[in-house]
Amino acid sequence: MKKVKIGIIGAGRIGKLHAENLVRLPSAEVTAISDIFADQIKEWAESIGIQDVYDNYKIIINNPEIDAVFICSSTNTHTQIIMEAAKAGKHIFCEKPISFDVEETKRALQIVKETGVKLQIGFNRRFDHNFKRVQEMVKGGKVGQAHIVKVTSRDPNPPTPDYIKVSGGLFIDMAIHDFDMARFVSGSDVEEVYVQGAVLVDPIFGDLEDVDTAVITLKFKNGAIGVIDNSRKAVYGYDQRVEVFGSLGCATVKNDFPNTVELTTDEGVYTDKPKYFFLERYLDAYVEETRDFVNCILYNKAVLVSGYDGLQAELIALAAKKSFKEGKPVKLSEIDA
User: Could you read off the pLDDT of 159-197 as tens digits, one per residue?
Assistant: 999 999 999 999 999 999 999 999 999 999 999 999 999
According to the model, what pLDDT value does residue 96 have? Answer: 96
According to the model, what pLDDT value does residue 11 have? Answer: 97
8-state DSSP, 75: G
Range(s) within the chain of domains with CATH label 3.30.360.10: 126-280+313-335
Range(s) within the chain of domains with CATH label 3.40.50.720: 4-117
Q: Write the pLDDT tens digit of every residue in 143-166.
A: 999 999 999 999 999 999 999 999
pTM score of the predicted model: 0.94
Helix, strand, coil percentages for the chain (3-state, nearest 5): 40, 25, 35
Taking the CB of residue 49, how many other CB atoms lie within 10 A of it? 11
According to the model, what pLDDT value does residue 1 have? Answer: 64
According to the model, what pLDDT value does residue 258 have? Answer: 86
According to the model, what pLDDT value does residue 274 have? Answer: 87
Nearest to 123 by CA among 248, 289, 283, 7: 289
Cα 305 to Cα 67: distance, rounded to the nearest angstrom:
19
Cα 331 to Cα 202: distance, rounded to the nearest angstrom:
30
According to the model, what pLDDT value does residue 156 have? Answer: 95
According to the model, what pLDDT value does residue 134 have? Answer: 97
Cα 29 to Cα 22: distance, rounded to the nearest angstrom:
7
- In the CATH hierarchy, which fold is given to the domain comprising 4-117? Rossmann fold (3.40.50)
According to the model, what pLDDT value does residue 331 have? Answer: 98
According to the model, what pLDDT value does residue 291 have? Answer: 98
Of the CA atoms within 13 Å of residue 293, those in its CB half-sphere come to 36
Give the pLDDT of the chain (337 residues) as one tens digit per residue.
689 999 999 999 999 999 999 999 999 999 999 999 999 999 999 999 999 999 999 999 999 999 999 999 999 999 999 999 999 999 999 999 999 999 999 999 999 999 999 999 999 999 999 999 999 999 999 999 999 999 999 999 999 999 999 999 999 999 999 999 999 999 999 999 999 999 999 999 999 999 999 999 999 999 999 999 999 999 999 999 999 999 999 999 999 888 878 889 999 988 888 888 777 889 999 999 999 999 999 999 999 999 999 999 999 999 999 999 999 999 999 998 7
Q: What is the DSSP string of 95-137?
A: PSPS-S-HHHHHHHHHHHHHHT--EEE--GGGGSHHHHHHHHH
8-state DSSP, 171: I
What CATH number does domain 126-280+313-335 carry, 3.40.50.970, 3.40.50.261, 3.30.70.1230, 3.30.360.10? 3.30.360.10
